[in-house]
Amino acid sequence: MKINRALQKELLEHLRDVYPRESGNVGRIGEPDETLGNLYYLQELGLIELAASNYIDGTKKVHHATITAQGIDFLEDDGGVSAILGTVTVKLHEDTLRQLIEAKVQASDLPPEQKSGILKALREAPGETTKQLITKLVDLGLENAPKAIPLIQTWLQGASS
């Protein structure tokens, strides 16, 4: 069986077009064995549901198929509702960000008098100034992202084991 992305897309689009009804014609799209294999593959991914029979001689027959909500979302350019529901929002309070910056300044190799001057200015800075500083720091971090990729990979591999 050959994985055929173009055929898979055609199968999913056909099922989306008849949704919420099932399609008894889906098995007739493409070459039978290739279509059958790709339908089972899409089912295993949770993109479609199949009503099929497995016969004693090892043959299989798809009676009908239905696209799932996950299958519809997969076809959507924006990821569909799944993308919205799966969004994670991270909020950092201004004080937390100040503390993170202070910790980095404290850990730096700067002379003590320079550190205390920076820390004093940071603590006395109005919220808008702190916001601009954080924006600049994020920009700087993103500009240096290629240097951070190996660190990110190492950390994520360590966290997953």
* pLDDT recorded at residue 160: 64
107 and 81 belong to one structural domain: no
The conformation of residue 119, written as its DSSP 8-state character, comes to H
How does pLDDT run across 89-135, given as a tens digit for each residue?
Answer: 777 777 788 888 889 888 989 898 998 888 888 888 887 888 888 88
In three-state secondary structure terms, 85 is: helix
Backbone angle region of 92, left / alpha / beta, with phi > 0 → left and psi within -120 to 50 → alpha: beta
**CB-CB contact of 52 with 35 (8 Å):** no
- The first and second tokens of residue 97, run together, are 């960000």
Specify the number of domains making up the chain: 2
* pLDDT recorded at residue 159: 66
21 and 80 belong to one structural domain: yes
Residues 19, 65: Cα–Cα separation, whole Å: 10
Residues 86, 63: Cα–Cα separation, whole Å: 33
148 and 129 belong to one structural domain: yes
The CA-atom distances, in angstroms, between 56 and each of 49, 52, 59, 70, 153 are 22, 13, 7, 32, 48
49 and 67 belong to one structural domain: yes
Q: What is the CATH number of the domain that holds 18?
A: 1.10.10.10
pLDDT, mean of each 10-residue run, the chain (161 residues)? 90 94 89 90 94 89 92 83 73 80 89 89 84 84 80 74 60
Range of the domain at 26: 5-85
- The first and second tokens of residue 109, run together, are 């190799």
Residues 55, 59: Cα–Cα separation, whole Å: 5
Nearest to 49 by CA among 31, 25, 69, 33: 69
* pLDDT recorded at residue 34: 92
Q: Where are any strands of DSSP class E within the chain?
A: 48-54, 60-67
Single out the residue in 50, 85, 120 at which a domain terminates: 85
* pLDDT recorded at residue 12: 93
State pTM to two decimals: 0.54
* pLDDT recorded at residue 80: 73
* pLDDT recorded at residue 39: 93
Residues 109, 113: Cα–Cα separation, whole Å: 11
